[in-house]
Amino acid sequence: MKADPRGVLTGEHFIDGDHACCEGALAAGARFAAGYPITPSTEVVERFAARVPTVGGTFIQMEDELAASITLQGGVWAGAKAFTVTSGPGFSLMMEHIGYAAMTETPCVFVDVQRGGPSTGLPTLPAQADMMQARWGSHGDYAVIALCPNSPQECFDLTIKAFNLSEEFRVPVMFMMDEVVGHMTEKVVIPPADQIEIVPRKHTKESVEEFQPYKTNGDLVPEIAHAGEGYRFHVTGLTHDERGYPNMTPQTQDKLVRRLQNKITSAADRIAMFEEAHLKDADVVVVSYGITSRVAQRAIDTAREQGLRVGKLRLITAWPFPEKKIRQLAGRVKAFVVPELNLGQMALEVERAAAGRAKTFSLTHAGGGVHRPEDILKVIVEASR
Amino acid sequence: MSTDLNTDLLNNDLLNTDLPDDDLVNPVEPFLRTDRMPHIWCPGCGIGTTVNCFARALIESKIDLQSLALVSGIGCTGRVAGYVALDSFHTTHGRAIPFATGLKLANPKLNVVVYSGDGDLSAIGGNHLIHAARRNIDLKVICVNNLIYAMTGGQTAPTTPDHATTSTNPYGTFEPSFNLPHLVEAAGAVYVARWTTFHVRQLARAIGEAFQKKGFSFIEVISPCPTLYQRRNKLGDSLDTMKYYKAKSKVKNGAPTSEVGLTISGEIIVGKFVDRERPDYQSMMRAQYVDSLGDRFVEPMEAEVCS
Amino acid sequence: MFHHFYQAHFLIKRGGLVTKGRVSIVAERCKSCGFCIEFCPSHVLAFSSAFNAKGYHVPHVVHPEKCSGCDLCGMYCPDFAIYGKKNADGGKK
């Protein structure tokens, strides 16, 4: 399905990542958003609030993030594509409803423009310290998808991808920006609507009598119906059977929770996106994502100029973690260097996937700025020895 | 005739099966997920009674059931969503109203009912309650107030009156309680009524009236929790409570809501307290956009096409 | 399990009684709260001495001739176990 041209601002623009994210959402077909102001993410919904009445949709500013993160899901069950936007403190409040979206299989997108934490932290300065929270933040076992753009152009492109993945897998998708990417202004090219591929909602074709809201057919993702269509279905955050009815047995729990996780993990290879360079001859691979990948690029370039065999692996999909890729590389490289704006989060995943076959150098930064390329270079040199 | 049911049951004559089918259907039955009966509510719990009134209000008001969505939060009343044969959403604790807000805004054709308890709506969901009333979102809120957190075992709620004993105030509560009609009127609700589970016909009528209103309507239903509130406070069983409702309720339509606060065993003022007109959120939103954007305004799509 | 509809209606046929209404009881759902008995304006119902499968005393009809079919019992019943219905002929024959 092609994008609805009403939401697509085709052309070349000079805009920041927050604004590009908003345009990506509109191009993806989002016509409903509920938000709560928080730096450094607010520009996304500010632009949405200005744009959406001209393309046929609704924005509501809610009383808090708890409300915003569930209001958008009401919008989804009424038939809209919907999202919300926040930063760390708000992301913490939204965990309740990321769990609800995972449990009820509500396709939607949560944008987190990361800033320094914990707590109020550094409202105007960058971090990448919500990466584990994005994966594990709500209680219970579930799986999500998380994407990490590193430029305003990617904020546009990958927001569309985020919506598409949310629809394909009926899962909340975390869009993990950071303050620098959000506030960085660059050229963003928005293609014509007929060049933008949109994944439609997986709507049921069953009759009202036959429809069961959580019955799967061949794959692991059930078909959906919307309120007002006559299906008279039930949705609950309680453990439920295929009819959507609460069922408090270990058997139903096992079946449901494993499916919620398996529908993502079994498709991890298909979901995994990364950018790679110089991996063929690499002794050392720099694994990075978001704004840090752009700093790392400088370090990689310098290292290669100095004759070091350094490869680049930029994670575009953070979750599900592309562990197969790391596992393959671990068999033939000496080490991974993982710079990130936190005290070592995705480095843990790299280390786990490498399983001792290659060393992992975690290059930490508490946030508030970005790494210096020379600091990354220093670790590359050390790792190459 | 015999007064022994078991004897009756053995007598085939008494198992009357030759009545027309429609005679055999309880009017509430088409609104229930009968495959989920019996429900989990305790003997003497009033929630089922409110569901009867809701069903009869739907019949009376001839509302299109396909357009009707029901949203509950968490708690005993939160289970209503699981028992009604409607598009029904059992959401998270306190968040029924914002979920319902999303449904209504994304598809304005829906009639959206929020059916939840006092703790869910006024404590953890208190912020959403007042803001939805302030915005005048077109929602029908039915708040079953049993004065306690029942599902979790009888803890103090914002509505627990006087010095009632609860599991978390074992020596009696001492914090003042919310007067919910006063709260939601102050916040902006266009329709505010209170009835008890004794007042079944009035309650059914009130729910029907709320469906006629455009805007935030709030109906409080005082309801017994014999298991955790009445018993712990030595107020008898639920039948005693219903008799108390009958004896001590006073109908005062239009009563100032500041004067309808509840006490543990005193008078219960019931009636329709507020019935006023204010433009609802979506009317205001549309007017603002039309005014500011003129021809550039595009109507929000009703039932957004995703498929 | 005795899932049955226990109706006052049969009495019309059996004893030639003419009533304005009748009640039906789904005994297995009853939890014995007594609301229907207490608030029936015509005092049609009383507790039976028998138990249902869950051990609750179920109401039964003691004065079928008084039933107006007003359905107050049905509105009160928290367990959807009883309802009243006016007879089509309104008891006029």
pLDDT digits (tens, 9 = 90+) for A16-34: 999 999 999 999 999 999 9
Burial of A356 from C-beta contacts in 10 A (0-12 / 13-18 / 19+): exposed
- Picking from C50, C62, C80, the nearest residue to B26 by CB comes out as C80
- Picking from B5, B24, B26, the nearest residue to C60 by CB comes out as B5
According to the model, what pLDDT value does residue B25 have?
81
The chains found to touch C (3+ Cβ pairs under 8 angstroms) are B
Are B98 and A74 in contact (CB < 8 Å)? Answer: yes
Does residue B20 belong to the interface with chain C, where contact is any CB pair within 8 Å?
no
According to the model, what pLDDT value does residue B297 have?
96
Q: Does residue C92 sit within a domain?
A: no
The chains found to touch B (3+ Cβ pairs under 8 angstroms) are A, C
Q: CA B85, CA B122: separation in Å to the nearest integer?
A: 26
- Picking from A201, A232, A237, the nearest residue to B306 by CB comes out as A201
Contact residues on chain C for B15, CB-CB shorter than 8 A: 4-5
Closest residue on chain C to B42 (Cα): C31
Shared-domain flag, residues A287 and A187: no
- Picking from B87, B107, B305, the nearest residue to A232 by CB comes out as B87
Is residue B8 pLDDT above 50, yes or no? Answer: no
In terms of CATH, what superfamily is B26-280?
A: Thiamin diphosphate (ThDP)-binding fold, Pyr/PP domains (3.40.50.970)
Q: Does residue A232 sit within a domain?
A: no
Helices (H), chain B: 5-10, 47-61, 80-83, 96-106, 118-119, 126-135, 180-187, 200-212, 238-248, 281-293
Contact residues on chain B for A230, CB-CB shorter than 8 A: 66
According to the model, what pLDDT value does residue A275 have?
98
Mean pLDDT of the region B108-128: 98
Shared-domain flag, residues A11 and A159: yes
Domain CATH for A323: 3.40.50.920
Query: B294 vs chain A: nearest CA distance in angstroms?
Result: 10
Collect the ranges in chain A with pLDDT lower than 50: none
Residues of chain A with pLDDT > 90: what percent?
A: 99
CB of A347 within 8 A of CB of A362?
yes
Shared-domain flag, residues A184 and A282: no
Closest residue on chain A to B108 (Cα): A78
Domain CATH for A72: 3.40.50.970
Mean pLDDT of the region B264-293: 98
Could you write out the DSSP letters of every residue in A146-212? EE---SHHHHHHHHHHHHHHHHHHT-EEEEEEEHHHHH-EEEEEE--GGG-B-PPP-B--S-TTT--
pLDDT in tens, A191-222: 999 999 999 999 999 999 999 999 998 899 99
DSSP assignment, residue A243?
T
Query: A175: which strand partners?
Result: A111, A147
- Which one, of B270, B160, B167, lies nearest residue B221 by Cα? B270
Domain end (from A145, A171, A195): A195
The contacts of residue A46 (CB under 8 Å, 6+ apart) are none
Are C75 and B23 in contact (CB < 8 Å)? Answer: no
- Picking from A63, A78, A203, the nearest residue to B107 by CB comes out as A78
- Picking from B28, B43, B200, the nearest residue to C33 by CB comes out as B43
According to the model, what pLDDT value does residue A218 have?
87
Q: How high does pLDDT run on average in chain B? A: 92
Are A228 and B305 in contact (CB < 8 Å)? Answer: no
Q: How high does pLDDT run on average in chain A? A: 98
Query: C7 vs chain B: nearest CA distance in angstroms?
Result: 7
According to the model, what pLDDT value does residue C16 have?
52
The contacts of residue B242 (CB under 8 Å, 6+ apart) are B197, B198, B224, C35, C38, C39
Collect the ranges in chain C with pLDDT lower than 70: 1-18, 89-93
Q: What are the two backbone dihedrals, phi and then psi, of residue C33, each rounded to the nearest 5 degrees?
A: -70, -25
Shared-domain flag, residues A57 and A180: yes
Is residue B19 pLDDT above 80, yes or no? Answer: no
- Side-chain-facing half-sphere of A381: CA atoms under 13 Å: 11
Helices (H), chain A: 17-28, 42-51, 65-77, 88-104, 131-136, 152-169, 179-183, 250-265, 268-271, 291-305, 323-330, 346-354, 373-384
According to the model, what pLDDT value does residue B10 have?
34
Query: Going by beta carbons, is chain B in contact with chain A, meaning 3 or more pairs sit under 8 Å apart?
Result: yes
Does residue B244 belong to the interface with chain C, where contact is any CB pair within 8 Å?
no
According to the model, what pLDDT value does residue B16 have?
40
Q: CA A363, CA A292: separation in Å to the nearest integer?
A: 11
The contacts of residue A329 (CB under 8 Å, 6+ apart) are A279, A282, A285, A311, A313, A336, A358
- Could you give the C-alpha distances from C32 to A346, B102, B273, C82, in angstroms and in order? 60, 40, 34, 11
Contact residues on chain A for B284, CB-CB shorter than 8 A: none
CB of B235 within 8 A of CB of B163?
no
Residues of chain B with pLDDT > 70: what percent?
A: 90
Q: What are the two backbone dihedrals, phi and then psi, of residue A220, each rounded to the nearest 5 degrees?
A: -100, 5
| Paired tokens of A381 | 């040199």
Query: B247 vs chain C: nearest CA distance in angstroms?
Result: 13
According to the model, what pLDDT value does residue C19 have?
82
Contact residues on chain B for C32, CB-CB shorter than 8 A: 43
Query: Going by beta carbons, is chain C in contact with chain A, meaning 3 or more pairs sit under 8 Å apart?
Result: no
Is residue B227 pLDDT above 90, yes or no? Answer: yes
- Picking from C2, C14, C29, the nearest residue to B37 by CB comes out as C29
Are B92 and A34 in contact (CB < 8 Å)? Answer: no
Determine the residue among A77, A164, A211 to mutate to test chain B binding: the one whose Cβ has the most chain B Cβ atoms within 10 Å: A77
Determine the residue among C25, C28, C35, C57 to mutate to test chain B binding: the one whose Cβ has the most chain B Cβ atoms within 10 Å: C35
A264-277 burial, b if ≥16 CB within 10 A, otherwise e?
A: beebbeebbebeeb
According to the model, what pLDDT value does residue B240 have?
98
The chains found to touch A (3+ Cβ pairs under 8 angstroms) are B
Domain that holds residue C51: 5-86
According to the model, what pLDDT value does residue B24 have?
64
Q: Does residue C76 sit within a domain?
A: yes
Closest residue on chain B to C70 (Cα): B201
Query: B292 vs chain C: nearest CA distance in angstroms?
Result: 50
Q: How many domains does chain A have?
A: 2
- How many contacts (CB atoms, under 8 Å) link B and C? 109
According to the model, what pLDDT value does residue B2 have?
37
Contact residues on chain C for B47, CB-CB shorter than 8 A: 78
Q: CA A306, CA A303: separation in Å to the nearest integer?
A: 5
Domain end (from A195, A221, A239): A195
Helix (H, G, I), strand (E, B) or coil at B8: helix
Q: Does residue A248 sit within a domain?
A: no
CB of B49 within 8 A of CB of C76?
yes
Domain end (from A147, A176, A195): A195
CB of A141 within 8 A of CB of A257?
yes
Angle (nearest 5°) at CA A243 between A238 and A244: 25
Is residue B285 pLDDT above 50, yes or no? Answer: yes
- Picking from B23, B48, B239, the nearest residue to C80 by CB comes out as B48
pLDDT in tens, B39-76: 999 999 999 999 999 999 999 999 999 999 999 999 99
Query: B8 vs chain C: nearest CA distance in angstroms?
Result: 9
DSSP assignment, residue B229?
I
Residues 94-123 of A with CB under 8 A from B: 96-97, 100
Contact residues on chain A for B67, CB-CB shorter than 8 A: 228
Domain that holds residue A137: 5-195
Q: What are the two backbone dihedrals, phi and then psi, of residue B301, each rounded to the nearest 5 degrees?
A: -70, 130
Contact residues on chain B for A237, CB-CB shorter than 8 A: 90-92
Determine the residue among A70, A73, A168, A224 to mutate to test chain B binding: the one whose Cβ has the most chain B Cβ atoms within 10 Å: A70
According to the model, what pLDDT value does residue B23 have?
58
Q: Does residue C23 sit within a domain?
A: yes
According to the model, what pLDDT value does residue B14 have?
38
Q: CA A273, CA C8: separation in Å to the nearest integer?
A: 71
ipTM: 0.97
Q: Where are the domains of chain B?
A: 26-280
Shared-domain flag, residues A13 and A128: yes
According to the model, what pLDDT value does residue B58 have?
97
